[in-house]
Structure 1
Amino acid sequence: MEITVKTFEELTLNELHDILQLRSEVFVVEQDCVYQDIDGKDQKALHVIGKKEGKIVAYTRCFEPGIYFEEAAIGRVVVAVKERKYGFGHDVMKASILAIKKRYHTESIKLSAQTYLIKFYESHNFVTTGEEYLEDGIPHIAMVTA
C-alpha cells in the first residue's frame, strides 16, 4: 500500500469522490448508521490516503490542535472491508501520527474511538479517557496519546 498525505486543496476530484465513497460504504452502509459524514471539516483536515493498485483502501483525516479537539485529532479511520487482513489500518495510523508530528509539531493527539477498537488504538499508544458515550448511536470512548 502506498500512503500519501494531502491537504483538501491537493486532493483530486477523483480522490475526494473515492474517499467519500469509502467512508459511506463503511460508516453508513456496513455499520448501518445514518449520520452527516460531510460535516464541513474536510476542508480543514489533512488527508492520509492509502492506495493499493491505485484504489483507496485506507484513510484517515487529521486536524491541527483546536479544530476538532484542544489536541491534534485523528478521525474517520477506515479500511475497506476486503483489505482488513493486511494491516493497512496500522499502516495508515502510523502515517497519520507521523503526519501530525511533522505538520503540527505536537505529540498530543486525541480521537473518538468506537469501543470495539480500543485494543487497536492502544497498540498505537493511545489510552482511554473518560466514560463511554454514544456517537450516532454507536458506543465510543475518547482516547489520547500516552
Structure 2
Amino acid sequence: MKIFVKKFGELTSYDLYEILRLRVDVFVVEQVCSYPEIDGKDLDAIHIYFKDGGQILAYARLYEEAGDIHLGRVIAKKRRQGLGSLILKEAIEAAKKCYNTKEIKIEAQTYAKNLYAKAGFVEDSEIFLLDGIEHVKMVLEIK
C-alpha cells in the first residue's frame, strides 16, 4: 500500500476516475443522498489517498475556503481495518506541509465524529443537517 499526496493536475485520469467512483459509491449511492458530489472544490484541493494494486483503498481531500483549511470526503473502502485513521493521519500531515495554517476544519457526519476526536479534533457546533444527514463542525488545532 502506497500513499499519494497530489494536486488535481497531478492525478492520473485513472486515479481521478477511481476517486470519484469511490466518493459517489459512498456519499451518494450508499448514503442515499442526491447531491452534486463533483462540487468544484477538487480543482484546487490536495488529494490524499492510499493505493494498492491499482485500487484506491482510502481517500481524503484538503482545500482552502475563505482563508480556512477544510478536510473532507474522508473514505476508507474497507471499514474497521484502521484505514480511516491512517488516511486521517496522512491528511493532517499533508495540511501541515501544504498550507500555512494553525487549524483544520471539518463538517463531520456524526457517526464518524469519534474517529476525528481520536485524531484531536474537537466539536465546534451543535448537530445540524446537511443534505439530510446529521453533521457536526469540528476543528483541529495544529501545534
CA distance in 2, matches of 1:41, 1:145: 21
- Which residue is equivalent to 2:101? 106
Q: Give the 5 Å matches for 1:91-130.
A: 91-130=86-125
Deviation readout 1:16-53 (Å, 9 max, x if unpaired):
10000000110111111111100111001000011122
Aligned counterpart, 2:73: 76
1:70, distance to aligned residue in structure 2 (A):
3.9
Letter aligned with residue 95 of structure 2? I
Q: Does residue 85 of structure 2 align to residue 90 of structure 1?
A: yes
For residues 88-109 of structure 1, the C-alpha deviation after alignment (integer angstroms, 9 at most, x for no partner) is 1111100000000011132310
TM-score of the aligned structures, taking structure 1 as reference length? 0.92
1-structure distance, mates of 2:54, 2:138: 32
For normalisation by structure 2, the TM-score amounts to 0.94
2:127 matched residue in structure 1: 132
In structure 1, the residue corresponding to 2:124 is in which secondary structure?
strand
Q: CA–CA distance in 2 between the matches of 1:4 and 1:109?
A: 20
Give CA-to-partner distance per residue, 1:58-97, whole Å, 9 cap, x none. 1011013xx2x542110011111xx113211111100000
Runs of 4+ aligned structure 1 residues displaced above 4 Å come to none
Q: CA distance change for structure 1 residues 106 and 25 in 2, over 3 Å: closer, same or farther?
A: same
Task: State whether structure 2 residue 30 is matched by structure 1 residue 33.
Answer: no
Aligned to 2:137: 142
* Structure 1, gaps ≥5 residues long: none
Q: Specify the SS of the correspondent of 1:85.
A: coil
In structure 2, stretches of 5+ residues that fail to align are: none
